[in-house]
A and B are shown apart, each in its own frame.
Chain A
Amino acid sequence: MSDTTRPVVEISGLHKSFGSLQVLKGVDLQVRRGQVVCVIGPSGSGKSTLLRCVNLLEEPSSGSVVVNGVELTDPDCDIDAARVRIGMVFQSFNLFAHLSVLENLTVAQRKVLRRSKEQAEEVARRNLARVGLTDKEHSMPAQLSGGQQQRAAIARALSMDPEVMLFDEPTSALDPELVGDVLGVMRQLAEEGMTMLVVTHEMQFAREVADQVVFMDGGGIIEQGDPADVIGAPSHERTRTFLSRVLDPTHHGPSDPTG
């Protein structure tokens, strides 16, 4: 499991269909230890589905997903045990609404990892400090701002000591002035060497923090590589079109039929 040469996440030949709708059409992707990979692309391109396939929240139709050397797509794989090492952060935070912030961070540690109350709270407080929420441990989720909720959700995932963190558009549901707090925490995580797979619309974050950027469209990877190349000088026409719309939303080129 701690084989340093082997990628933490290995996705190969991944297909996913919802009914007759093919969302993923054969995706291959690897994330090495300590690497930050950002997935960008238009809505409906399958990037969130790809991420959700990595911890099997969506069951792939075919292909294989191997995380930390465990093949999750094996039908006999203990998926609950495997998910402990895969942290997931959702667009809509999904903090447990009936538990305080501290309880949100300790409940899985105690029920799944069987840590003692003292140990779980110690880990939880350490992670709350990491995301700057030390004074909020007794608050209920509904009393926090969106940015605070998302940071608490990140701390909750970190409390399980994951090998890799998955971020599913973590800032898309936030008010613009709160985005920075969450991105700051993510940048700090990246600098600490966390392995991260991030689906995001934050091009600046991808450009500055990612080791690799993957552009997806139509259920497949169109291009991937160094952020300076993919975002700065995209080689593919679809990437260029997407980036020009994202980076300059008020500009409507003549090639844009909907503009």
Chain B
Amino acid sequence: MSRDTELGDTQHRDQEPPGEPGRRTPAPTAPPRRRMSKRQRARLFRGIQYGILVVALLVLVLAADWDSLGRAFFDPAVIVNQFPEVMTVALVNTITYTAMGFAFALAFGLVIALMRLSSVGPYRWIATLYIEFFRGLPALLVFLALGVGVGYAFGLNLDRSISIMLALGLVGGAYIAETIRAGIQAVPKGQVEAARSLGMSPARTMITVVIPQAFRIILPPLTNELILLTKDSSLAFILGSTLAQHELTQFARNALNTDRSLTPIVVAGFCYLMITLPLSYLSRRLERRFGKGAKTGPGRE
């Protein structure tokens, strides 16, 4: 909404000064039919938009049954019931699973990215195949395959945490690999030439010069990947869990059944936002610092 007003205002300001004198000159010769100027039409249009919004809000306020809504979404008794476990168990588990998955995805994604850029053809093909395969699968399917399928097929029961880490990491790694590859290719060629001309080997150049700069470039998209993984960690519910293993979604699902209220879902939702909102804030800040960073550079002072 504020975006709308801003846009409208700039338009307003942009058009008025050049428009006014220009329009006055042809006015006498123009046909007498009264047409609204562009500026007037824009103003009218904006007025209509506000009108619709106000009407919609009024209807909502008057028609809604606030008591039952409040009870459904923010039942204080149910909220109290959630604590402290929703924080001490569920939130902690969600963060733990995400962290494990992201660490694996990052390491694995780096390997896949380097394979995609390899001079050895088969490595490139394998990496491409891997990325296309795992980007095309629902994460839920991978969780099922690792958590349940592997057990049935090979009689091999992976540790639950390991399954979660692998499932999140295999899927996230495919996306992260593409991000890292793009980052590596975005490092200016001159940086590589400078490193090579100082006698660094290709591997040394990659480690000392290219990868550190690539990570600066991809920090914002990498943060987004972390947010996606945070949400995907909810899929761990498919693996079954004891009370102590509940992450936020499973925890809310249980409470939903015992309390017969929407409130646990709202609480879990807020907990997810507690993780993801700071991350997106961080992502935006990193973008501002490194995104166009070529100009200002990483140094701050």
Give A contacts to B, CB under 8 Å: 55, 57, 80-81, 83-84, 86-88, 90, 92, 94-98, 100, 107-108, 111-113, 139-143, 153, 156-157, 160
Contact = CB atoms under 8 A, between A and B. Distances in A.
Contacts of A153: 194
B144 interface: no
Nearest to A100: B299
Nearest to A143: B299
Nearest to A81: B199
B194 A94 contact: yes
A142 B191 CA distance: 14
A94 to B, nearest CB: 4
Interface of B: 188, 190-191, 193-201, 204, 208-209, 212-213, 216, 294-299, 301
Contacts of A94: 188, 190-191, 193-194
Contacts of B294: 97, 142
Most buried by B among A81, A87, A96: A96
Contacts of A112: 198-200, 204
B298 A108 contact: no
Contacts of B199: 80-81, 83-84, 108, 112-113, 160
Given A96-B191, A97-B298, A98-B216, A88 B208 contact: no
Given A90-B193, A107-B208, A143 B198 contact: no
Given A88-B197, A111-B200, A111-B208, 18 more contacts: A57-B196, A80-B201, A83-B196, A86-B197, A87-B197, A88-B193, A94-B193, A96-B194, A97-B191, A97-B298, A112-B199, A141-B297, A142-B296, A142-B297, A142-B298, A143-B299, A156-B198, A160-B199
Contact of A140 (B193, B295, B298): B298
B297 A90 contact: no
A142 B212 CA distance: 16
6 contacts: A81-B199, A92-B190, A98-B213, A142-B297, A142-B298, A157-B198
